[in-house]
Structure 1
Amino acid sequence: MRKYKTGLLIIAICSLVSGAGIFRAARADGQIDSARDLVNQGKYDEAIALLNTLPDTQEKKLALAFAYLGTEKYDEAEKIMLEIVKDNPASLPARYCLGMLYEKKKNSAEAIIQWEKVLLLTQKKELRELASKHLAQLKKDEKK
């Protein structure tokens, strides 16, 4: 049950970050939509298996990274998200999710870097406030 809730939280947060949804550019691709549905249902392994049959696109990589986050395979998710930001440094969904990922991995220094990039990339008030809260908490925790 916990993994299911974690997956929904990841999808909801990353959907908020990208505006129309993390998979908005892939709406025409029924297979990526199917994989997203599997992630939303907590069927991460099925989503991963489906996504691994598809050609590499940014949308596929994002979906795969979120599926790995749902299975708590943080190293795999990190590798994919780092590939995304290498190709597209302004990828707000990847930066946001990297911030969350590094917090889960207890890597405050990297989390701070990603949250600062989120602040630079977004104009949305709610995301700026959320990133600021994460930064404040991380910096407070570093002082302990």
Structure 2
Amino acid sequence: MAITALLSHGPPSAEAELAAFMSGRTGDGAVVAFVGLARDSSRAGPVTGLFLDHYAGFTERSLEVIAADAHARFPVSDIRVIHRCGDVAPGEAIVFVAVAAPHRRAAFEAADYLMDRLKTEAAFWKREDGPDGSRWIEPTDQDRADRQRWSD
């Protein structure tokens, strides 16, 4: 069992991360991986960049707690979360999540849960930059509804 939650100042390499996560894995029947990308538009208009501000130590701990909660909730073997901070250009990776489990359903559900929690609870302050200026953004009502479905 391994839970890894890391903050990255550059784009995570999904290919390298997945290859390392898969290496030597023989006891699991499923691996689910997710890569979140920065978009070039939002409801507010064109996006030229995204800035994810963080507080050292605090942000990393929020990632660790979310990953540990997923591990406690689902019958999974390993979890790896790498979340980007700083400046992110459209098309670049923001987050990489991988989950290994004996069975596929648990891996899919744990990855989905992780993303819903990361989107709404990870300790980041997010700013979208565009041709008309910058705006700080919060989770949407849909993000909150997605998170709510996991409440007991």
**TM-score by structure 2 length?**
0.31
- Higher Cα radius of gyration: 2
Higher helix share: 1
**TM-score by structure 1 length?**
0.33
Ranked by relative contact order (alpha carbons within 8 Å, sequence separation 6 or more), the top structure is: 2
Higher strand share: 2
